[in-house]
Amino acid sequence: MLHFSRWKITLILGAIMVGLLFAMPNVMSKDVREGLPWPLPKQTLNLGLDLQGGAHLLLEVDLKDGVEKTLKSELAGMRAALREERISATLRIKDEAFFVTFKNDADAETGAPIIRKQSVPVDANAIGGGGKTLDIEKLDEHRYKITVSEENIQYISDRTIEQSIQVLRKRIDPTGTTEMTLAKEGSERILLQVPGAKDVDELKARIAKTAKLGFHEVEVADSVVLQLCVEDGQCPLGKVAYPQRNGQGYMMVLDREIVTGADLKSASEGLHPQNNYPIVNFKYNARGARKFCDFTATHVGEPFAVVLDGEIITAPNINGAICGGSGFIEGSFTMESAKELSLLLNAGALPAKLDIAEERTVGPELGADSIQAGKIASMLGLGGVFIFMWITYGLRFGTFANIALATNIILIGGALSLLGATLTLPGIAGIILTIGMAVDANVLIFERIREETSNGRGPINAIDTGYRLSLAPILDANITTLIAALTLYFVGSGPIRGFAVTLSIGIVMSVFTAVVVARLMTSTWLRRARPKKLPI
């Protein structure tokens, strides 16, 4: 156990050097760090949001809405397909399915294949064909139950989340310069982390708005019809009522938009040419310009409504055909809100509503306090353990253990930097805990050496036996602790994972430093000093 070949020594020292190189940038000032010559690593530990301050938001995507919309459009498609073949059937939506009931046997016979044909592969490019979009269940001779298939729901959900992430990225970071994390989390959530975010309220406002913009044809309705629609939800087919921003009650409009936010090319805030109040200027894309031109040409003298997220922000009259491909929205904006709306319009509408399921915001002040407290606690903890080990095992073996411990801390720092791991507040706790627990392996070895000495073995023999017999219990004890730490990593979330990471790395490094590094020191000392009696 005490012999080290030359290449082994080189390897051990090399490993420590690499650890040191990766750990070093963490204690350098920024200028020194930036000035490091090429091959030297510059990266430092990533600080978690709880340490550097910032916003952590877990957003829940409302996926039901998308599935419902798909169901509705599938129903419309099927109705059209059946009508084309002149098959009489009634289609009714109920809960998360719709039912097709054929009039008679003949219709059922010709209709069934048409229904089946509506279910197409979810993803035409998928290898092996993938699943179909619809599940079709035959209830009896004339009745079919149709639901959106599991695969399709999955596909819609994935796409919705994907699109939401893209829109959010454009909204929160229009210039592409903000450092942030935006990623899918689980099956229906999006994780958004913005380090150092100052104005969380503004951030939340950008998430909360769907920014669904649409120009609608206004339908003149008498007050009874309007009231029935608003209060009981019994609206005439294809029409809806929205509240007006100016507070003048509800207005009825056609459900179908003339143009939508998707037909816009760009938007920007500006001032009204005559009255000098804030407005939002926009440009249509080619398709939008044509559609709006056609509409305004045929509806001169009538009003149209600009609807944003279920609210009519303005309803101007059409004075003549508008074919220039641009226009503006006025609606009692402030300069701020006009700017905000143009940003949202440029980023596009969210495909689904987002709810904040979890918010953890930490101000920079608190984060700095936590780091400070962590530094003090680890320094004092480390100092305490150092002194304890010196007093207990004397300067010789105490120093061996303490150098091993110091190496351990350096290696943890190096490994965390190398892995690009994130240091969190619980992660600091993990490091401090490691400081206390890491000497365990050395204590175990030293105690064994003492025991073997009292059994009458000479120094070299006692140390050799001590290391040899301690190896199995050290490995067993640390592997079991590692199991607990790894379980925590895979089941835990957020900052707790940081704890699991530092603890796991600490455990692995403590075994290396105690069993390998301290043994190297002991054997070197033994060879040089050839002691007759051990100082422990």
Partner 1 sequence: MFDISLVRHLPKDTTVPFIKVRLIAMVLSILAIIASIFLFTTKNLNYGLDFKGGTVWEFHLTESPTDADLTAIRALGPQLNLGELAIQTIGQTDKDKVQAIRLSVSKQEALEGDENDDRAQQVALRSIQAAVVEMYPEVDNTENTLSVQVLGTKVSGELKRKGAMAVVLALMMVLLYIWFRFEWQFGLGAVIALAHDVILTIGVFSLTALEFNLAIVAAILTIVGYSLNDTVIVYDRIRENLRKFKKKPLDDVLNLSINDTLSRTIMTSMTTLLALTALYIWGGPGLNGFAFAMIWGVFVGTYSSIFVAAPVLLLLGVNRAGPQK
Interface residues for partner 1 in 229-258 (CB under 8 A)? none
Residue from 130, 361, 457, 468 touching partner 1 (CB under 8 A): that is 361
- Please state, in angstroms and as integers, the Cα–Cα distance from residue 475 to each residue in 286, 440, 515, following that order: 70, 12, 10
Q: Which stretch binds partner 1 (CB under 8 A): 12-20, 118-126, 197-205, 512-520?
A: 197-205
Q: How far is the CB of 410 from partner 1 (least distance, A)?
A: 17
How many distinct helices (H) and strands (E) make up the chain? Answer: 15, 18
Number of residues written out for the chain: 536
Based on the shown chain and the rule CB under 8 A, indicate whether residue 203 belongs to the binding site for partner 1: no
Is residue 299 at the binding interface for partner 1, with CB under 8 A as the rule? no
Closest distance of CB 147 from partner 1, Å: 21
Per-residue DSSP letters for 343-373?
A: HHHHH---SS-EEEEEEEEE-HHHHHHHHHH
Strand 46-47, strand 422-423: pairing: parallel
Whichever of 36 and 208 has its CB closer to partner 1, that residue is 208
Closest of 453, 443, 430 to residue 508, by C-alpha: 430
Can you read off the two tokens belonging to residue 161? 């989340």
198: amino acid identity, one letter: K
* Choices 24-32, 34-42, 274-282, 429-437 (CB under 8 A): range interacting with partner 1: 429-437
Distances, alpha carbon 519 to alpha carbons 66, 390, 409, 450, 532, in Å: 63, 17, 18, 15, 19
Residue 525 Cβ, how far from partner 1 at the closest point, in Å? 14
310 interacts with partner 1 by CB under 8 A: no
Contact predicate 357/60, CB 8 Å = yes
Backbone angles phi, psi at 183, to 5 degrees: -150, 155
The tokens 């969190």 sit on which residue? Answer: 424
Determine if 403 is a binding residue for partner 1 (CB under 8 A): no
DSSP label at residue 321:
-
Question: 150-172 and 63-84 helices cross at what angle (nearest 10)?
Answer: 120
Q: By CB under 8 A, how many residues form the interface with partner 1?
A: 87
CB of 439 to partner 1, least distance (A): 5
Q: Is there binding between residue 381 and partner 1 (CB under 8 A)?
A: yes
Stretch that binds partner 1, among 83-91, 209-217, 220-228, 427-435 (CB under 8 A): 427-435
Q: How far apart are CA 236 and CA 240, in angstroms?
A: 8
Cα gap 236→464, rounded to integer Å: 92
305 binds partner 1 (CB under 8 A): no
Taking CB under 8 A as the criterion, the residue among 40, 120, 395, 529 binding partner 1 is: 395
Dihedral sign for Cα 291, 279, 307, 263, please: positive
38-67 mask for partner 1 (x: CB under 8 A)?
------------x-------x-x-------
Return the number of the residue (278 or 430) whose C-beta is nearest partner 1. Answer: 430
Residue number, 155 or 512, with CB nearest to partner 1: 512
Query: Least distance (Å) from partner 1 to the CB of residue 393?
Result: 6
Among 143, 170, 204, 245, binds partner 1 (CB under 8 A): 204
Q: Which residue, 253 or 431, is less far from partner 1 as judged by CB?
A: 431
Shortest distance, position 3 Cβ to partner 1, whole Å:
25
- The answer to whether the CB of 115 falls within 8 A of the CB of 146 is yes
Indicate whether 187 belongs to the interface with partner 1 (CB under 8 A). no
CA 105 – CA 88 distance, rounded (Å): 11
Helix residue spans in 420-458 (DSSP H): 425-454
> Residue 436 Cβ, how far from partner 1 at the closest point, in Å?
3
Q: Kindly write out the interface string for residues 451-480 of this chain, putting x where it contacts partner 1 by CB under 8 A and - elsewhere.
A: x--x--------------x--xx--xxxxx
Q: Please report, as residue ranges, which positions from 488 to 527 form the binding site for partner 1 (by CB under 8 A).
A: 488, 491-496, 499-500, 503
Distance separating alpha carbons of residues 530 and 527, to the nearest angstrom? 6
Which of 67, 191, 437, 460 is the binder for partner 1 (CB under 8 A)? 437
- Which range touches partner 1 (CB under 8 A), out of 38-46, 106-114, 239-247, 448-456? 448-456
Looking at the Cβ atoms of 134 and 352, the one nearer to partner 1 is 352
Considering only 227, 268, 378, 461, the residue that binds partner 1 (CB under 8 A) is: 378
Token pair for 445: 């070895």
Taking contact as CB under 8 A, which single stretch among the options 124-132, 221-229, 256-264, 438-446 is the one that binds partner 1?
438-446
Percent helix / strand / coil, the chain, rounded to 5? 55, 20, 25
- Residue 356 is classified by DSSP as E
Interface with partner 1, residue 363, by CB under 8 A: yes
For residue 63, give every residue at least 6 positions away whose Cβ sits within 8 Å of its Cβ, in sequence order, or none: 153, 156, 157, 160, 188, 352
